[in-house]
Amino acid sequence: MLKTTFTPASNGRLSEYLDRAAAVILPSFAPKAAAFAPGAPGELRVGVDLGTAYLMLVVLDADGQPLAGEWQPAQVSRDGLVVDFIGAVDRLRGMKQRVEERLNRLLTHAASGYPPGVPLAEVRATANVVEAAGMTCTGLVDEPSAANNLLGLHSGAIIDVGGGTTGIAVLQDGEVVYTADEATGGTHFSLVIAGALDIDLEQAETLKTTPAEQPRLFPTVRPVMEKVASIAMRHLRGYRIPEILLVGGSAAFPGMAEVIQQTTGIPTRTPARPMYITPLGIALHCPAH
């Protein structure tokens, strides 16, 4: 785990930290000129997130500061299970090579993660992908615990709204005491948009992430947000939850936190750049090498 005094949430620099991460963790289609990264002396921490909607590779220095990385849309995993092993390995190997070129050094180790509630025996393929891509897998961490490496939530709930599922974790005294994972996520946003506008899913995905279109789409996707809230309410019943933090790419849709708060009655907020939180937390789980 991260052994450093650098803790973005506790020192009030989480937004600054995430802005730095977004500046160096680039989409795979970024122009080569924009992909420059300085050399990386010293030990590194590396994380791989095989998400339902995105594949992300993150590199941090030994103190946890973001150095480089890459992400790309990918559907190689579903509900924590790798469904396209060869595709996942090929994509990750290419990302690894490009990031190594940016840093001018090899990446030899990486941690990875898995959705809450999925048995470790069933997510072993995630580690196999990392190793087939040319890195030793240092360990697997559940996604809520990874997210809390950054968020530092003492008591409350983390809701990870991913591509296909919503993960829920209850934290007490800084420890995850309950987890669950249910279908409903960003893909469902896209499905309802596609149905409402009579367009294909790819067009719906593009509209969903276009800021100028999001206010117009909000009434269409609000029922999906309410479904996420109802899932959360069912799993949080019986726990004292002072606040909810939303992470995951779909949590960035404007109005999401407000709908969750209105439905659950629990103060809810979305940190800046929620798409990066879990992958960065996975990298923080990797011992420096």
Q: Looking at residue 193, what is its pLDDT?
A: 95
Q: Residue ranges of the domains in the chain?
A: 14-147+276-285, 152-272
Asked whether the beta carbons of 289 and 106 are under 8 A apart, the reply is no
Which of 29-38, 130-139, 190-199, 217-226 has the weakest average pLDDT? 29-38
**Is the per-residue pLDDT at 4 higher than 50?**
no
- Predicted TM-score of the model (pTM): 0.89
pLDDT at residue 144 greater than cutoff 90: no
pLDDT score for 163: 79
- Homologous superfamily in CATH for domain 152-272: ATPase, nucleotide binding domain (3.30.420.40)
Average pLDDT of the segment spanning 120-132: 86
Question: Does position 9 have pLDDT exceeding 80, yes or no?
Answer: no
Taking CA atoms, 107 is separated from 29, 110, 246, 284, in Å, by: 21, 8, 30, 15
pLDDT score for 125: 86
Query: Does domain 14-147+276-285 sit in CATH 3.40.50.2000?
Result: no
Max Cα–Cα distance, the chain, nearest Å: 52
Closest to 247 (Cα-Cα) out of 147, 118, 113: 147
Model confidence over 159-201: pLDDT tens digits?
998 877 888 999 999 888 998 888 888 888 999 999 999 999 8
